[in-house]
């Protein structure tokens, strides 16, 4: 920013008029009303920011724009969608989630917690999940059941076929 | 299908004389054709009632019925007795109890819930529109119910179970853009509704409960005429499906999901040559199952056997090399939906060149301008066109443009409805369409880049949309996009006299734009606006209209809570929902989303409660106003605190101290009272 330095004790930045609350360091935004990239009530893949050569720096993905229903978007990029079934011991119905919607374990676990209304406890490498009666597990490409969280996220999201939230009592001691 | 155009009849005061009063002597009963028995010497009321009943039962159109019910008290009563199909455009406009109190013999209900912008994640997921209160009320009131058609409604498996149990003659279940249920609910319907003719699941979110619902249909011959489950993302027991189709001699319409393979489709078609409408499943070959040898079935022969197919859709997971299989049916097709198929122009042209009778065509923009030119050359009977983006992002490559639109306008003169997504457009092409296609009733153009001007002239798209409203005299639905100034809206207000639905996004310069529309479009029913600089002045200017509209949606505009409350206070039969978040204390007055609609039964009782919801008393002035509390529904959700955003409600993009207006209390109050700091 041109005014960052105090030149000749004249802090031009202080007197600069711009859109925005004082104290924020945002770059100029070209249009007044087009400001929202809020993550509003949505968690589909729309907000994954893709690097493309756009004319203005402020043109990030906007919620709900263009107005295409998610079932259409998903179908077009069929190859990219990774739906996995999620079952939970004791819950009557299965759910389904798109792993691509989450970018790390905390997001995924939070979504599972709110989906099935339970708490998952704290993860530690040595002892797995402590503090709750449930253990999140997944079936990987080889058909093995693993503990969620042990491998790096990318490895997990590409090999996970199915999720199962087991009751601690049912889980093998190794998990 | 025609919409109710007259003011909602229920919002007019009831004819003053009650049915129990025998004498009615006030002189202004000129509209009562049947006055009290002391005055009338002709026929006793009950004879007239019978006659009227026999006549009114033939009225089908709900517009006609609404009009008839306003004639007088007797007609109101008889019409209510004879109305068997009820259409409710907004499930919160009235309570289920009111429905059953008025209409006693309903056999069919069409119910719509969430506003359309909910499809684009602009609404909280648990906002409402629940079927439960409706089904439980109707279960007691209408045991003879036959048909339920829901759109954007939250339906649970329990609701479906209640339908299956309560209505022994149930015939038609249609769920469009619904969610909340799964295959277990569908299984119950399949199993218990023995008279089921129609089971249409369209663009709905259906949970896979790992239930083999197809097997749940009863073993004997079914009444099925239509079965659509293309949106069900769950594998299907094909053997059971084949058996079901085999014992459904009346089946005309079948829409499969992508879990039915091409080979399986082939077998089905051989067994169901009477189909008129077919949605294919996956249109690709399972490479693991077959070798590339003579074992491959003759798909074209199967289609050849379907001489009656006039409507074709599906084509999920398409392998284009199999497309020629549909050649035998192309000449008969009146409707073709390729909107889930990524087809190139070269693959597409040989097919479309055979489709001379086509009236409805949906596709992805992967067919390019070239493909559209082929459509224009062949499909002279085209009435409806929808082009969806394969890559629905703002700055993606746009394979279709003004060239395609121009070609269509020149070739398809009978066009009535168009939805067109593109990346670039010109006024000239839009004007051409307005001149070439006078039958247009629906014009929805989505230029995906926000604020994008005419890419040839650099000018706003005002003249194009202006020509549409001016020349297309039958236009009832309009969606605008691209760079638009207030001038475009001036045109809409001046010429758009029949417009009922208007969709606006990232458009306009000032309040005047919205004012033009609210003051100039007398038939406006549904107004959805997002991310446009319309504020309190504009909102107030429409108050004479809101009772005559189904709803108004405004999100990311420049409204203040104070103004919304004023509107709620002034209009007791309007429910004003303000949906937003308030972790930004400085933005206390800012309205993220306004959704308001007329309602006879006040604000709904089922507004969602979130654990993070902070209950905050609306900051009404000193006078406690119970009407405001009744009409005002303020839903506040705590969202994740993201980086600070500039304030809104400023002077339309001009840098001025009033951009910090919300900090200046005096200015805030003035704005809440309708003052603007923009001079026109």
Q: What is the structure's pLDDT at A139?
A: 87
The CA distance from B642 to A39, in Å, is 9
User: What confidence score (pLDDT) does residue B232 get?
Assistant: 96
Q: Which residues lie below 8 Å from residue B272, measured CB to CB, with a gap of 6+? A: B245, B246, B251, B254, B306
B138 with B205, same domain: the answer is: yes
Quickly tell me which residue has 């409960």 as its tokens: B209
A62: in domain: no
Domain tally, chain A: 1
For B327-354, write each residue's pLDDT tens digit.
999 999 999 999 999 898 998 999 999 9
Same-domain pairing of B51 and B144: no
Q: What is the mean pLDDT of residues B16-28?
A: 41
Give the range with max mean pLDDT: A161-165, B162-166, B581-585: B162-166
ipTM: 0.80
- How many angstroms separate the CA atoms of B210 and B311, rounded? 30
Q: Does B302 or B353 have the greater pLDDT score?
A: B353
* Six token digits for residue B206: 């259906």
Judge whether A142 lies within some domain.
yes
In this structure, of A71-85, A93-107, B6-20, B493-507, the range with the lowest mean pLDDT score is: B6-20
Across the A:B interface, residue pairs with CB atoms under 8 Å apart total 149
Query: Across the interface, do A21 and B123 touch by the CB < 8 Å criterion?
Result: no
Average pLDDT over residues B631-654: 40
The CA distance from A61 to the nearest CA of chain B, in Å, is: 8
Q: Which of A111-125, B12-26, B107-121, B535-549 has the lowest mean pLDDT?
A: B12-26
Task: For residue B125, give the nearest of A34, A41, A59 by CB distance.
Answer: A41
**Residue A75's pLDDT is what?**
64
Q: Is residue A153 domain-resident?
A: yes
Number of domains into which chain B is organized: 2
Domain containing A97 — which CATH number? 3.10.20.90
In the numeric block, which tokens belong to residue B513?
């734009």
pTM over 0.90: no
Contacts (Cβ under 8 Å, ≥6 apart) of B42: none
Range of the domain at B56: 45-83
In a domain, A27, yes or no: no
Last residue in a domain, options B83, B105, B139: B83
pLDDT > 90 fraction of chain B, expressed in percent and rounded:
70
CB–CB of B183/B234 below 8 Å?
Answer: yes
**Cβ proximity of A69 and A42 under 8 Å:** no
CA–CA min distance A128, chain B (Å): 28
Model pLDDT, residue B85: 97
Q: CA quadruple A138, A141, A143, A147: dihedral positive or negative? A: negative
Q: Domain limits at A123?
A: 92-167
Q: What is the pLDDT confidence band of residue B611, given thresholds at 50, 70 and 90?
A: very low
Domain end marker among B29, B54, B83: B83
Instruction: Give the CATH number, domain containing residue B76.
Output: 1.20.1280.50
Domain annotation covers residue B111: yes
**How sure is the predictor about B625, in pLDDT bands with cuts at 50, 70 and 90?**
very low
Decide the pairing of beta strands B501-505 and B526-530: parallel
Q: How confident is the model at residue B604 (pLDDT cuts 50, 70, 90)?
A: confident
Average pLDDT over residues B398-419: 97
In a domain, A111, yes or no: yes
Q: Are B185 and B109 in the same domain? A: yes
Half-sphere exposure of B375 (CA within 13 A, CB side): 34
In chain A, residues 36-75 whose CB comes closer than 8 Å to chain B: 36, 38-42, 44, 46, 50, 52-54, 59, 61-73, 75
Instruction: Kindly report which listed range (A41-45, B133-137, B542-546) carries the lowest average pLDDT score.
Output: A41-45
My answer on whether B109 and B166 are in the same domain is: yes
Among the partner residues B231, B446, B650, nearest to A67 by beta-carbon distance: B446
Cis peptide before A66 (omega within 30 of 0): yes
Instruction: In whole angstroms, give the CA distance from residue B65 to residue B152.
Output: 26
């Amino acid at each position: 920013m041109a005014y960052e330095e105090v030149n000749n004790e004249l802090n031009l930045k202080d007197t600069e008029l711009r859109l925005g609350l004082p104290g924020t360091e945002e770059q100029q935004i070209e249009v007044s009303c087009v400001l929202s990239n809020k993550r509003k009530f949505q968690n589909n893949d729309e907000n994954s920011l893709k690097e493309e050569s756009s004319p203005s720096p402020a043109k990030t993905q906007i919620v709900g724009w263009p107005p295409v229903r998610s079932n259409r978007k998903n179908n077009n990029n069929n190859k990219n969608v990774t739906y996995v079934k999620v079952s939970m011991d004791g819950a009557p119905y299965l759910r389904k989630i798109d792993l691509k919607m989450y970018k790390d374990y905390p997001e995924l676990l939070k979504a599972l917690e709110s989906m099935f209304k339970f708490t998952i406890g704290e993860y530690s490498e040595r002892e797995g999940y402590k503090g709750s009666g449930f253990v999140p597990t997944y079936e990987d490409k080889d058909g093995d059941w693993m503990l969620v969280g042990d491998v790096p996220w990318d490895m997990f999201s590409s090999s996970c076929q199915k999720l199962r939230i087991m009751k601690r009592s049912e889980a093998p001691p190794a998990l | 299908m025609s919409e109710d155009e007259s003011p909602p009849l229920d919002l007019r005061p009831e004819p003053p004389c009650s049915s129990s009063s025998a004498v009615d002597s006030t002189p202004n009963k000129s509209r009562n054709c049947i006055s009290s028995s002391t005055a009338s010497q002709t026929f006793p009321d009950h004879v007239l009632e019978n006659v009227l009943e026999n006549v009114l039962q033939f009225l089908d159109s709900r517009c006609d019925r609404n009009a008839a019910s306003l004639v007088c008290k007797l007609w109101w009563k008889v019409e209510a007795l004879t109305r068997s199909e009820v259409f409710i455009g907004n499930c919160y406009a009235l309570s289920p109890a009111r429905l059953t109190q008025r209409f006693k013999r309903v056999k069919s209900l069409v119910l719509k819930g969430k506003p359309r912008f909910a499809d684009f994640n602009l609404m909280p997921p648990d906002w409402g529109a629940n079927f439960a209160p409706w089904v439980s009320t109707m279960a007691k009131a209408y045991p003879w119910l036959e048909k339920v058609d829901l759109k954007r409604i939250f339906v649970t498996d329990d609701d479906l179970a209640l339908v299956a149990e309560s209505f022994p003659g149930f015939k038609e279940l249609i769920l469009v853009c619904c969610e909340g249920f799964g295959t277990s609910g569908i299984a119950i319907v399949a199993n218990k509704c023995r008279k089921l003719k129609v089971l249409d699941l369209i663009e709905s979110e259906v949970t896979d409960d790992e239930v083999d619902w197809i097997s749940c249909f009863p073993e004997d011959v079914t009444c099925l005429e239509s079965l659509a489950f293309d949106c069900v993302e769950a594998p299907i027991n094909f053997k059971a499906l084949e058996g079901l189709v085999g014992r459904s001699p009346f089946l005309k319409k079948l829409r499969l999901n992508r879990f039915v393979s091409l080979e399986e489709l082939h077998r089905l078609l051989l067994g169901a040559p009477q189909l008129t409408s077919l949605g294919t499943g996956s249109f690709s070959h399972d490479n693991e199952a077959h070798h590339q040898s003579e074992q491959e079935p003759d798909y074209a022969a199967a289609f050849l056997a379907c001489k009656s197919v006039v409507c074709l859709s599906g084509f999920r997971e398409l392998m284009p090399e199999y497309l020629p299989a549909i050649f035998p049916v192309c000449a008969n097709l009146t409707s073709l939906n390729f909107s889930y198929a990524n087809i190139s122009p070269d693959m597409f042209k040989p097919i479309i060149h055979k489709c001379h009778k086509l009236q409805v065509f949906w596709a992805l923009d992967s067919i390019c301008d070239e493909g559209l030119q082929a459509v224009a050359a062949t499909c002279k009977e085209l009435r409806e066109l929808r082009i969806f983006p394969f890559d629905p992002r703002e700055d993606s490559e746009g394979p279709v443009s003004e060239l395609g639109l121009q070609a269509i306008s020149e070739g398809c003169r009978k066009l009535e409805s168009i939805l067109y997504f593109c990346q670039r457009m010109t006024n000239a092409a839009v004007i051409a369409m307005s001149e070439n296609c006078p039958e247009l009733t629906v014009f929805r153009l989505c230029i995906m880049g926000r604020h994008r001007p005419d890419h040839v002239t650099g000018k706003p798209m005002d003249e194009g949309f202006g020509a549409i409203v001016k020349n297309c005299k039958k236009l009832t639905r309009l969606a605008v996009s691209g760079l638009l100034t207030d001038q475009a809206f001036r045109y809409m207000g001046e010429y758009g006299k029949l417009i009922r639905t208007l969709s606006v996004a990232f458009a306009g310069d000032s309040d005047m734009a919205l004012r033009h529309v609210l003051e100039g479009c007398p038939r406006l029913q549904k107004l959805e606006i997002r991310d446009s600089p319309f504020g309190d002045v504009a909102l107030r200017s429409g108050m004479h209209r809101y009772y005559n509209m189904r709803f108004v949606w405004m999100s990311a505009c420049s409204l203040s809570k104070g103004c919304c409350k004023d509107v709620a206070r002034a209009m007791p039969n309007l429910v004003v929902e303000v949906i937003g978040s308030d972790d930004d204390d400085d933005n206390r007055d800012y309205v993220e989303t306004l959704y308001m609609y007329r309602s006879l039964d006040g604000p709904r009782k089922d507004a969602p409660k979130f654990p993070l919801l902070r209950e905050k008393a609306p900051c009404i002035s000193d006078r406690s106003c119970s009407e405001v509390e009744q009409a005002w529904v303020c839903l506040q959700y705590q969202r994740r605190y993201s980086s600070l955003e500039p304030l809104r409600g400023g002077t339309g993009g001009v840098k001025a101290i009033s951009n910090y207006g919300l900090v200046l209390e005096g200015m805030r109050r003035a704005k809440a009272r309708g003052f603007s700091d923009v001079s026109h």
